[in-house]
A = this chain, B = another copy of it.
Amino acid sequence: MSDTFVVVGGDAAGMSAASKAKREDPELDVVVFEKGEWVSYAACGMPYYVKGEVEDLENLVAVTPEEFRDERDVDLRTGHEVVGIDPEGETVTVEGDGETFDQPYDHLLVATGASAIEPPFEGLGLDGVFTIHDMDEADAIENYVTEHSPDSAAIVGGGYVGIEMAEALSARGADVHLYEMLPHVLQPFGDAVAEVVEDHLREQGVELHLDTAVSGFEGAERVERVTLDDESHPADVAIVGVGVEPNTDLAADAGIELGETGAIATDEYSRTNYENIYAAGDCAEARHVVTGEPDHVPLALTANRAGRAIGQTVVGDPEPVGEIAGTAIVKAFDLGAARTGILDEERARDAGFDPVSVTISAPTRAHYYPDGAEITVTLVADRESGRLLGGSVVGREGAKRIDTVATALTAGMTVTELRNADLAYAPPFSPVWDPILTAAKVLEGKVAGE
């Protein structure tokens, strides 16, 4: 009898693992339980659906349930929730189609994802107040905006979701107010990026309220105002995007260990403390390529990559899931902002480094070539070893240059090695010294104590 691979959760990590395992071993029974109806969808695309640039929510689905079932031969059960795991008995308990049953497994993947954090705001239940983390929420926001054509919108949280939703709702005609508790938006991107993004958001008509705590929302049935400590502003619609938390209850109840970040602890193959139980995606930790320590950075590529590796491991060809650099990129109206590695100096010191950083601005193309833009690059390195620790990029074009820095981090390069990388130059694409190289050159001097 062939083995059974059970997957809990049908998004990036889960469906990647299921597809890969089945492709590598067609004899394997692969069963996926997804409590909702959507699988394999691009949550990152939801703001562009609300904005109106993606016509159908279905467009965000990479592979449909029918394709998984018919073409990939995966036993996908939507509307089925796993409510218990018995690691000793090697079964999961499932509720679906009005019944409860036990499903045995040989290998189990917990890919339960994350949920939007719901702060203890008053009025969170009013109509028109949304979080945005799943497709049904995206659909509800779009419907609400279409129905009510809000004049004003409150975005709570200046992370990437908040900024993408500010752009989306602005495009839908609302006056957008964005509230951030911290002194800057996009905190993980560092101050150099934040300052450029904040200037641009204001230019685009977004009213920024930094260092500002929201206490809740007011309204009769629908939201009408957002309330701060001592004032309130009109808000015909509100999006709360203050971060996500990993969905770990199912795992924790089964004795699966969580890490210090609060997400599920995993080894290099994404195994939990149980040999045949894996965890991956937004619910799980991954190892950071710079610190070597577990970290929790819930992003799509990490989930896809880990799922694919697990799919290979469960068929007997073990494949490490790889390390993460926390690389992220976000569009903020006409800007691209990106980051990778360790930018925060305190965090670098905690990891045993002595961080030195520089921020430079340079043109994205040769100075004489038309339509270039200014790009701001930050690089951080360890003073003693010269090892590159992290970087950020922000500008109207060229934010994908962060990939050069991310690749250098993956390779463990020093700032001198990066400075010597033979990057591409032609006037329409770069100055002779690419801005990444210019930043490396300046940082190298600073590391050397010049």
Contact = CB atoms under 8 A, between A and B. Distances in A.
A300 to B, nearest CB: 5
Interface stretch (A52-60, A75-83, A203-211, A252-260): A52-60
A328 B424 contact: yes
Contact of A53 (B59, B60, B369, B411): B369
Contacts of A145: none
A274 interface: no
Interface stretch (A25-33, A117-125, A212-220, A396-404): A396-404
A428 interface: yes
Interface stretch (A227-235, A242-250, A352-360, A412-420): A412-420
A214 B338 CA distance: 49
Interface string A360-393: 0000001111100000000000000000000000
30 contacts: A42-B432, A45-B366, A45-B369, A54-B368, A62-B367, A289-B422, A301-B425, A301-B432, A301-B437, A302-B422, A304-B433, A323-B422, A327-B423, A327-B424, A327-B425, A329-B424, A329-B425, A330-B426, A336-B428, A336-B429, A340-B422, A403-B403, A403-B424, A406-B423, A407-B407, A407-B413, A407-B418, A408-B411, A410-B413, A411-B413
Contacts of A417: 410-411
Nearest to A61: B368
Contacts of A7: none
Nearest to A16: B432
A434 B329 CA distance: 12
B329 A429 contact: yes
A13 to B, nearest CB: 12
Q: Which 5 pairs of residues, A with B, have the shortest CB-CB distance?
A: A411-B411, A322-B420, A329-B424, A325-B422, A59-B368
Interface string A38-69: 00001011001000011000011010000000
Identical copies in the complex: 2
A318 interface: no
Contact of A299 (B54, B406, B425): B425
Contact of A425 (B62, B300, B422, B425): B300
Nearest to A289: B422
Nearest to A410: B421
A326 interface: yes
A284 interface: no
Nearest to A339: B424
Contacts of A411: 407-408, 411-413, 417
A225 to B, nearest CB: 32
Contact of A423 (B53, B301, B369): B301
Contacts of A423: 301, 327, 403, 406-407
From A336, A429, A434, residue with most partner B Cβ within 10 Å: A429
Nearest to A368: B59
A324 interface: yes
Contact of A54 (B369, B402, B412): B369
A305 interface: yes
A433 B323 contact: no
A272 interface: no
Interface in A293-352: 299-302, 304-305, 322-331, 336, 338, 340
Contacts of A433: 301, 304
A425 B323 contact: no
A427 interface: yes
A430 interface: yes
Contacts of A399: 424, 429
Nearest to A331: B428
A141 interface: no
A400 B426 CA distance: 10
